[in-house]
Structure 1
């Protein structure tokens, strides 16, 4: 199933009841999905499950296309700026299959309500298509004006920046396509020096059939203006969006799911969930501490001052108790990547005592555990540390001197045996190598250790962690597939906030300010500082909010890849918790109870990525066919490829309930078989399709939308800048 585990439930601490989605019938009615709408000849048409995205190259249509792509929802894009593009006419939009009328697209996304010249035959074809087949249209970003059911934004409403504003989901939005949200929709203000949002706020035209779903206060007025709303007119339905966005902005990420649910009636291929997993590396071992005088970490291969000894950071039994209590309070499970030699060596050096390991073993089942190799050895090439940075050592014949297959295999097997002997709940197919070693490390080691794959096969490893910052795509290494992990900028060599800030300052400031100069050498670095942070306040004031925002962005992006920190960050001042708390607290404040964080382990994350890749390859190759006729959905895909689909609650497959509930809908991965997948949608009382009569105000498709403003912070996403 698509969500094999929803964890323990993020919102255990919530006291208030939230407004739930209405009955299945009411939800479908709100989304406007006309079950069984008959064609003029009385035949129920076939509606293909594919979206038409008409793009002008702007960020708004690009954001919606990116949302569809990430979810695995098939779409066709027509770029209005591209010469030789297909002409949008009746034949492009519809035809007949086996004597049945077919609508090729279940929804249409336009840059605005009418991006064509006055009197355009293409817009007329779209209008007729939408009327004939009851196809909804999304206006990705348009000017508030009577043609979209709103009063003009300039004058009685507002036209301007919404940076830092909090919009709200209306009652109609909560009972309809945006019911997965708690209500608040904050607009980001990441850099006060850059305009990041722009909107037109206004109220519906008198007599217009317009329902606001998301609105915000009109400055200087008591009224609230629509930002997202549904306009029914001329026998058509439009989702009118009057603010601009890009695919990365939080306000879009919050609303993207609802936009797709509205345009598809909650029935589409692909699926989207909000994922968060955190791996804690080096558990049972110790991590060497950053040295602020040397600007490096004694004990590391590139920090070789013989007069300075390493200063290890290691968790205590009290830190274990804190971790378990934190998990219980958050309804969240950490994944612990452990090195058994850390405990074995500690016992040898302390007369057999190791309170940390004893405490961990007493609560072993509270966590998920991952093999991190026995000693955390570097499993790539032999490192020549006589130079800084290190380089790969070579044999007498000039070949790279690689760590052997036997050495790699021993590191894996010894750690697994220790874990099994001590009753750790392991998945033997999961592995995190020390520093992701064995995999390529540029520039020193541009290829994988050739002995890594065979050693993985020796030990049955099928899911191998990689560093997303340098190896982001899932790929095969021997029998294993990689699981890219996001590194958090909470450093492995910091147990206290002040040393974290000191290292952060060194990395991200200029050489003239005593820093590394990385930002001068690589201007694309997104976390550069104009000046050093205060070591007393910089962590709480700058690093925590920034890392929270970055991680939450991943969570909201339908991205299952895990984040990783280190055991040192759970020790001493326990500096990881403010970031983790920030992510989970902000998430809890934004989402309803039926949309919890999905907290998967490494194996399940890897499988999710693998299924997505196979599915997308089949879609891109044109090997997927999906359509609905009345209340039946049919999907044909290559045998063995798992099909992701999102449906309305109450859908059945072969007479059995289909899918797992999430965000008011149900979804699942279903392996394709020789026979097409057939899904029966729930019966519902749905209002008749909108009247085909012209709108009362006489507006129609012949009036192109005026130009709208797109600020720099949307056309080019705002970098991670320090707050003033």
Structure 2
């Protein structure tokens, strides 16, 4: 039911009284309750949607009001605040607006928000606003700049580093993925003389030695605003770098939800060999779809030297790779080489340097029985037309035999983890639209609880019998390439048109995001195009609080070792952007699965309205269902039942704690005292900000999507 607008006839003083805190001495006697929920007021633009996406990913509760929708909730004093058990309550701990004032001139809604923010010291984020005196900044025409800042290197100021953006090392590079498309538009200017304005992120004003503000805090009339003067979407690197700080600023570092920057890499087919791409046949001999009678498999397999290189690389990056292994690869190699296998000997000797995952013994296809007499293959059927499936016993033997082989080799295994060859056994469209019904039974036989899946096919977790899937991002570093030239040749064939000798996939599916206008140079194409693109996609996942692992193959660590430039790009790029207290988190498969599952449980509880949380002074209270893990981010020194809460990360502490069905009471440190109330009345709200410009590259992300 639509709310009536009651504030239109109230004075500013009456607005404050209506918000629950009486003026005068009684004001100081009551500590208000602040609910841990953010109000996001959207105009349908990408910037407010980006902040909402950041809150959602972290698990931070928020309420969204879309100003473009008819019949929407009206923002008034009753909507913003009330009284609970005789105590004034602010329903929202922060407000996000599209700009500093998105309402018509003289708006009662903006007046209600201004009074609410002053009364309860609620911060406001101006998601993307024009630089103007009402936001504490000079108009850009007065020595500032309005226009594209694609490719600009912005910097966090000293105040930003000591404040909400302290997790950054300093640089905030703005993307320029496509010179033909505008991706970042900004207003750069200086604070108005005499304004209480603190710049947090600045960039050089073109043609001048001076710098202009991109993000800063404006204090005025008993209110605080975080003023952002550049446009962004949720996928752009510059937003992902600053998103954590925006949330920490608006919540004062006290909020439900938690986030980390994750990066894990699975290397499939270890001990085995991968067949090589044939640039003349444009297929991979040994693959079921490469039916040319002249096709002869040409295997790519790591060497002992590649193992030593992997160990040295890990040590230099303080990073651990996950090796998904096939024991038959070594057994077969020894049979063909008089009992010797230098690779296996070195891997086993250095087994403690890596994490290990069961990848089945001989890497067979565990789904339907494949009929390879046709291209593409199809599922074989019995006489009655029913699908022929690999049996439960055969699947179970593949899992169990590989486990026993690994145990005999002393590999430090987690027996509950499994990645099947090609993620087979699970549905594969279009040929196999359902799981092999025998897969779940075999998983149960072998106590498998975590099962790797392909994120490009199934991005959501699901159950397969007793196992929960762990979606993995495929890197576009091909399994059948050990050399850079092979990678480029196959990449050219896949992503160019038929007239250029390519597969035509881009003609058949224009939505493909890696299409090429012309073939890449065989010598330079890998380093100049593929590596930067794959680095950007993977780093985008890292910066998006996404724990899903990436996967490559052992062939990519052999010969030219083509995986390392991408992995270096991600890790070196990350190190250049973040402070030491914000390291990359490198979890193994079961821990990733647990993180994804408890996130899903938390989101279900939020949607069901089962979570309430609030702050009164220095105490945060959370009500949640019994057994539900509760995520929170709080100041360093916070305690729960007298014990330190959470783990240190990005200048705060955060983590999960199980609810017992009774309220959780967390005690904030003295340094995080409750915000002081303000007694002065807010100035009347000004008119709406001028319309801000949104370039094409912001409404339509350039070069890659959320899934790469």
Deviation for aligned residue 1:693: 4.5
In the alignment, the residues of structure 2 paired with residue 103 and residue 114 of structure 1 have an alpha-carbon distance, to the nearest angstrom, of: 21
Q: Is the Cα contact below 8 Å between 1:236 and 1:692 reproduced in 2?
A: no
Question: In the alignment, what sits opposite 2:687?
Answer: 703
- The equivalent position to 1:610 in structure 2, one of 597, 601, 626, is 597
Are residues 692 and 209 of structure 1, via their aligned partners in 2, closer, same or farther at CA, if it must alter by over 3 Å? farther
Aligned residue pairs: how many?
A: 682
Deviation for aligned residue 1:720: 4.6
Question: In the alignment, what sits opposite 1:580?
Answer: 567
- The equivalent position to 2:586 in structure 1, one of 573, 593, 599, is 599
Question: In the alignment, what sits opposite 1:48?
Answer: 35
Question: In the alignment, what sits opposite 2:105?
Answer: 118
Task: Answer yes or no: is 1:718 the counterpart of 2:694.
Answer: no
Question: In the alignment, what sits opposite 2:257?
Answer: 270
Deviation for aligned residue 1:317: 0.2
Question: In the alignment, what sits opposite 1:8?
Answer: none
Structure 1's unaligned 5+ residue stretches are: 1-36
Q: Mapping of 1:445-484 within 5 angstroms?
A: 445-484=432-471
In the alignment, the residues of structure 1 paired with residue 672 and residue 436 of structure 2 have an alpha-carbon distance, to the nearest angstrom, of: 61
Question: In the alignment, what sits opposite 1:129?
Answer: 116
In the alignment, the residues of structure 2 paired with residue 504 and residue 685 of structure 1 have an alpha-carbon distance, to the nearest angstrom, of: 53
Query: SS of the counterpart of 2:671?
Result: coil
Question: In the alignment, what sits opposite 2:406?
Answer: 419
Question: In the alignment, what sits opposite 2:267?
Answer: 280
User: Could you tell which deviates more after superposition, 395-404 or 711-720?
Assistant: 711-720
Deviation for aligned residue 1:690: 7.5
Question: In the alignment, what sits opposite 1:179?
Answer: 166
**What are the superposed Cα offsets for residues 590-627 of structure 1, whole Å, 9 maximum, x if unpaired?**
00000000000000000000000000000011000000
Give the TM-score taking structure 1 as reference length.
Answer: 0.93
Q: Is the Cα contact below 8 Å between 2:42 and 2:49 reproduced in 1?
A: yes
In the alignment, the residues of structure 1 paired with residue 28 and residue 125 of structure 2 have an alpha-carbon distance, to the nearest angstrom, of: 28
Question: In the alignment, what sits opposite 1:212?
Answer: 199
In the alignment, the residues of structure 2 paired with residue 95 and residue 576 of structure 1 have an alpha-carbon distance, to the nearest angstrom, of: 57
Q: Mapping of 1:333-482 within 5 angstroms?
A: 333-482=320-469
Question: In the alignment, what sits opposite 1:507?
Answer: 494
Question: In the alignment, what sits opposite 1:633?
Answer: 620
**What are the superposed Cα offsets for residues 325-374 of structure 1, whole Å, 9 maximum, x if unpaired?**
00000000000000000001111111110000000011100000000000
Q: Is the Cα contact below 8 Å between 1:234 and 1:691 reproduced in 2?
A: no
Are residues 344 and 175 of structure 1, via their aligned partners in 2, closer, same or farther at CA, if it must alter by over 3 Å? same
Q: Mapping of 1:528-677 within 5 angstroms?
A: 528-677=515-664
Q: Is the Cα contact below 8 Å between 2:119 and 2:677 reproduced in 1?
A: no
Are residues 469 and 400 of structure 1, via their aligned partners in 2, closer, same or farther at CA, if it must alter by over 3 Å? same
Query: SS of the counterpart of 2:27?
Result: coil
In the alignment, the residues of structure 2 paired with residue 284 and residue 136 of structure 1 have an alpha-carbon distance, to the nearest angstrom, of: 56
- The equivalent position to 1:93 in structure 2, one of 60, 80, 95, is 80
Task: Answer yes or no: is 1:524 the counterpart of 2:511.
Answer: yes
Are residues 688 and 365 of structure 1, via their aligned partners in 2, closer, same or farther at CA, if it must alter by over 3 Å? closer
Give the TM-score taking structure 2 as reference length.
Answer: 0.95
- The equivalent position to 2:293 in structure 1, one of 288, 291, 306, is 306
Which structure ranks higher in relative contact order (CA pairs < 8 Å, sequence separation ≥ 6)? 1
For the aligned residue pairs, the C-alpha RMSD in angstroms reads 1.4
Question: In the alignment, what sits opposite 2:476?
Answer: 489
Q: Is the Cα contact below 8 Å between 2:617 and 2:673 reproduced in 1?
A: no
Question: In the alignment, what sits opposite 1:23?
Answer: none
Deviation for aligned residue 1:39: 7.2
Deviation for aligned residue 1:704: 1.1
Query: SS of the counterpart of 1:361?
Result: helix
In the alignment, the residues of structure 2 paired with residue 69 and residue 268 of structure 1 have an alpha-carbon distance, to the nearest angstrom, of: 12
Q: Is the Cα contact below 8 Å between 1:302 and 1:389 reproduced in 2?
A: yes
